[in-house]
């Protein structure tokens, strides 16, 4: 999530890209999707890492819905990011790699769900709240200073609340019924509620060749941090690991199948704060580099 704020939203897609000796080494293009209150400049170090280890790689950090505009509802953001990503995919005969940070991971999931013929080779989730968020982070206090986590559902699980990105993945384990009734983004993506697109979305998810889940216990923002590897709280706020989640056991969106095929990789790194994942060389070398060939 982390970054800086700026005024105004871009009315159209603006792409900030790094092209160095494009395709000389035959590396697949890399697309980076930022997190909440982020923009392209937070990913310059990551782009440098990629071009040092994979010279000539086309690295595109999408400058869309950045900074304060990242608070807009996620389905709206998905529409914009999808149209920015589509032409990059179409030019890449051998596929692309997608690196998605924090909230950007949820946006990427929405993009792929609605791009059924995508060609993503490696999908890399960098500290993303994949199973939801439920914690009093600095971001929560900034945007909702009058709420504590146990009461935020009163706002988030309303029509107004679902118009703000954070509420689209706010998952209160004590308000399960309200979450399932009101959530319009995370619940359908995770197959927690039935919907007409479930089969298409599942088939699209299964097109991914490698799914890399990166997170760690010192993140300080993603709560529980295990959400970055698809774990989440039960009603007692005890973390239930990915493999024991109901939607995993039902293989609701294809995660169990990918895992059974050996396509899912978990990379847990201690000592990394949320805003440092994309600039940490150890994280890059151990968790990202090998999947960008």
Q: List pLDDT tens digits, range 200-225.
A: 999 999 999 999 999 999 999 999 99
Out of 219, 227, 228, 278, pick the active-site residue: 219
| pLDDT > 60? residue 6 | no
Distance (Å) of CA 138 to CA 22, 57, 148, 274: 40, 35, 11, 11
- Residue 288 sits at the vertex; the CA angle it makes with 221 and 119, to the nearest 5 degrees, is 105
Query: Rounded CA gap, 156 and 187, in Å?
Result: 13
| pLDDT > 70? residue 9 | no
Out of 102, 182, 204, 228, pick the active-site residue: 102
- The candidate with the shortest Cα–Cα distance to 267, out of 223, 219, 221, 202, is 219
| Catalytic residue check, 228 | no
- The candidate with the shortest Cα–Cα distance to 202, out of 129, 112, 89, is 112
Q: Specify the pLDDT at position 150.
A: 78
SS3 content of the chain, % helix, strand, coil (to 5): 40, 15, 45
Band of residue 266 on the pLDDT scale cut at 50, 70, 90: very high
| Catalytic residue check, 102 | yes
Query: Rounded CA gap, 120 and 105, in Å?
Result: 14
Lowest-confidence region among 23-32, 33-42, 228-237, 240-249: 23-32
| pLDDT > 80? residue 7 | no
What is the token pair recorded at 166? 């954070």
By percentage, how much of the chain surpasses pLDDT 70?
88
| Catalytic residue check, 219 | yes
Neighbours of 154 (CB within 10 A): 13
Strand pairing category for 59-63 and 96-101: unpaired
Helix (H, G, I), strand (E, B) or coil at 1: coil
Considering Cα of 246, then 74, then 49, then 205, what sign does the dihedral take? positive
| Residues 6 or more apart in contact with residue 212 via CB below 8 angstroms | 122, 123, 124, 125, 265, 267, 287, 288, 291
Query: Rounded CA gap, 253 and 206, in Å?
Result: 8
Please say whether the beta carbons of 9 and 65 come within 8 A: yes
Q: Specify the pLDDT at position 102.
A: 97
What residue ranges in the chain does DSSP mark as E strands?
14-18, 30-33, 59-63, 96-101, 120-126, 210-215, 232-233, 239-240, 264-268
């Amino acid at each position: 999530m982390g970054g800086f704020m700026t005024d105004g939203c871009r009315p159209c897609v603006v792409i900030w890209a790094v092209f160095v000796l494009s395709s000389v080494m035959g590396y697949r293009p890399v697309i980076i999707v930022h997190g909440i209150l982020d923009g392209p400049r937070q990913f310059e170090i990551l782009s440098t890492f990629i071009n040092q280890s994979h010279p000539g790689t086309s690295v595109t950090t999408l400058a869309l819905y950045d900074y304060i505009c990242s608070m807009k509802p996620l389905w709206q953001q998905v529409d914009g990011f999808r149209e920015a990503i589509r032409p990059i995919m179409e030019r890449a005969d051998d596929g692309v790699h997608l690196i998605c940070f924090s909230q950007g991971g949820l946006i990427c999931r929405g993009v792929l769900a609605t791009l059924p013929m995508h060609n993503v080779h490696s999908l890399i989730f960098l500290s993303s709240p994949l199973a939801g968020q439920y914690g009093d982070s600095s971001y929560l206090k900034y945007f909702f200073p009058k709420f504590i986590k146990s009461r935020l559902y009163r706002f988030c699980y309303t029509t107004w609340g679902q118009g703000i990105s954070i509420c689209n993945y706010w998952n209160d384990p004590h308000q399960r019924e309200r979450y399932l009734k009101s959530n319009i983004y995370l619940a359908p993506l995770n197959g927690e509620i039935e919907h007409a697109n479930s089969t298409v979305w599942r088939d699209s998810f299964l097109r991914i060749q490698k799914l890399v889940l990166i997170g760690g216990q010192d993140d300080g923002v993603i709560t529980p941090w295990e959400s970055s590897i698809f774990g989440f709280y039960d009603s007692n706020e005890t973390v239930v690991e990915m493999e024991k989640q109901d939607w995993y056991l039902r293989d609701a969106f294809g995660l169990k199948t990918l895992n059974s095929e050996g396509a899912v990789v978990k990379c847990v790194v201690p000592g990394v704060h949320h805003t440092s994942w994309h600039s940490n060389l150890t994280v890059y070398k151990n968790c990202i580099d090998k999947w960008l060939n």
